[in-house]
Structure 1
Amino acid sequence: MDRSATTTLTTAMAEQQHTDNHVQSLPEMVYQRLRSGVLKGEFPPGQILRQEELAQRFGASRVPLREAMTRLETEGLLELRPRRGYAVISLEPEEIQEIFALRAIIEGHAGAAAALARTDKDIKAVKALLLKMEKVSISTPEKANAWLELNSAFHDRIFLSAGLRHVSRVALMLRDMVEPYIRIEIGLTMDVAEAQVEHRQIFDALVAGDSERLGHLSKIHCEHTAARLIKAL
């Protein structure tokens, strides 16, 4: 085979590999975009998801879209309604309280573990997120969204400090189930003062390595969040 033919073949193989990678990543891309839309309230609780509209919006066929919806159903973010298709999960106040009761137990356990396992690197990372949160003034929907992203990152980093992979996975799944409602509550009240105080207390307990206190504060934080949410809704 001459040099030009070899170059042509190599280029064709590279292009095919790029195409294959694109095809393989498409379901994940659709899943991530749809999941983000649900969590951020772009698709509010109870909304029926029209596959034709979503396929056009994401530039994808129905196959990766159905795959994404199935995954989100298993995560508790979507539900399949007879003869209507998939809809964003809509929770009753009692269900929200049930989820937060579970979160309080799990996050209390994770917090207690984090206080014992945290390193200087963990403390530095959590502190950086806390300081960023404290600088955000909740005055617009955009700033509220920025605070919420930092809030999630703050708690995620504490979960990571605990080193409990399975506990963290369950905690994150439960948080995602109520995340749209938390965003609604913050959007309505624009008030995170109590949460900010509790975040600072949680951080101080993490620094002190006080397992009992951090576990208690994490549990109380969940209970207070649930109370504010139910009141706002």
Structure 2
Amino acid sequence: MEHDVRPLSMLSDLAEITPGLLPSVIYRQLHAEIVAGVLPSGQPLRQEELARRFNVSRVPLREALTRLEAEGLIEQRPRRGYAVAELDASAIVDVFELRMVIEQHAGAVAARARNQTDIAAVGELLDRMHRLDATRADYAQQWTSLNYQFHQRIIASSHRRTLVRVANNLRDSVEPYVNIEVSMTRSFESSEVEHRQIFEAFKAGDADGLAELSRRHVESTSRRLLQVLRERALKPRM
């Protein structure tokens, strides 16, 4: 899912949307805002305010919130309602350990299953990252969005629906923290080298190579993020 965090009114006209599709539209918007860090960890999600914002009844809103809760992106607190989920350092470690296993496997499957359309799409995302203007104020935001899409598109090239869903859910749960790590460490150059190696293995159909590169990439991201958290000695925040 691409990080499109424009106001919902710019994404679509709710009045023209079939009522049955409203929960999905609201879900996608809130999902994008949580993953991009627009809605930070611990942020209350008051149903009355959200209903006014989206100009909808509580019914489609509750459906969207229930879906986000099932994916672990939000949590329901006793007597306080919904809020964006918070992860402590140990939970982040757990997620990254799972990601290393899942994305290593997904890389191997994707290398064997990818087609020319997949290769072209992943290559285009890599080129777009390389062409970004590093002097722009929103460079980090653009880079992290393309980084997310790059890895998501490789996993999608496995053409395994369940594998894609599990991998994306794990990635989404820590993506806001990864965005913080990137903005603080400015690890663009080292990541670009890793991305190029990943793409070359993907393009060549090197299942073992892509599996190992994917595992190492997740591991290095985890290591940088945990170092940032230790140095700041702060509770992780989205």
TM-score w.r.t. the length of structure 2 is 0.84
Structure 1 residues 10-64: Cα deviation after superposition (integer angstroms, max 9, x where no partner): xxxxxxxx97953222222222221122111121011121222222222222222
Asked if 1:150 corresponds to 2:146, the answer is: yes
Q: Following superposition of structure 1 onto structure 2, how do residues 104-115 of structure 1 map, counting pairs within 5 Å?
A: 104-115=100-111
1:117, CA displacement in angstroms?
2.2
Which SS does the other structure have where 1:46 is aligned? Answer: coil
Higher alpha-carbon deviation: 139-148 or 33-42: 139-148
Which SS does the other structure have where 1:114 is aligned? Answer: helix
> C-alpha distance in 1, partners of 2:119/2:170?
25
Which among 189, 192, 204 is matched to residue 188 of structure 2? 192
TM-score w.r.t. the length of structure 1 is 0.85
Q: Following superposition of structure 1 onto structure 2, how do residues 173-212 of structure 1 map, counting pairs within 5 Å?
A: 173-212=169-208
Which among 220, 227, 230 is matched to residue 231 of structure 1? 227
> C-alpha distance in 1, partners of 2:69/2:151?
24
1:215, CA displacement in angstroms?
0.4
Match of 2:69 in 1: 73
Which SS does the other structure have where 1:232 is aligned? Answer: helix
Match of 2:52 in 1: 56
Match of 1:37 in 2: 33
> C-alpha distance in 2, partners of 1:83/1:120?
52
1:190, CA displacement in angstroms?
3.3
Higher helix share: 1
Match of 1:85 in 2: 81
RMSD (Å) for aligned C-alpha atoms:
1.9
Kept in 2, the 8 Å contact 1:30–1:68? The answer is yes
CA, structure 1 residues 179+140, in 2 after alignment: closer, same or farther (shift >3 Å)?
farther
CA, structure 1 residues 164+85, in 2 after alignment: closer, same or farther (shift >3 Å)?
same
> C-alpha distance in 1, partners of 2:137/2:187?
12
Q: Percent identity?
A: 49
Larger radius of gyration: 1
Kept in 2, the 8 Å contact 1:110–1:215? The answer is yes
> C-alpha distance in 1, partners of 2:87/2:137?
23
Structure 2: which 5+ residue stretches go unaligned? 1-13, 230-238
Which SS does the other structure have where 1:73 is aligned? Answer: helix
> C-alpha distance in 1, partners of 2:222/2:67?
26
> C-alpha distance in 2, partners of 1:48/1:125?
37
Structure 1 residues 184-230: Cα deviation after superposition (integer angstroms, max 9, x where no partner): 22233333222111110101111222211110000011111111111
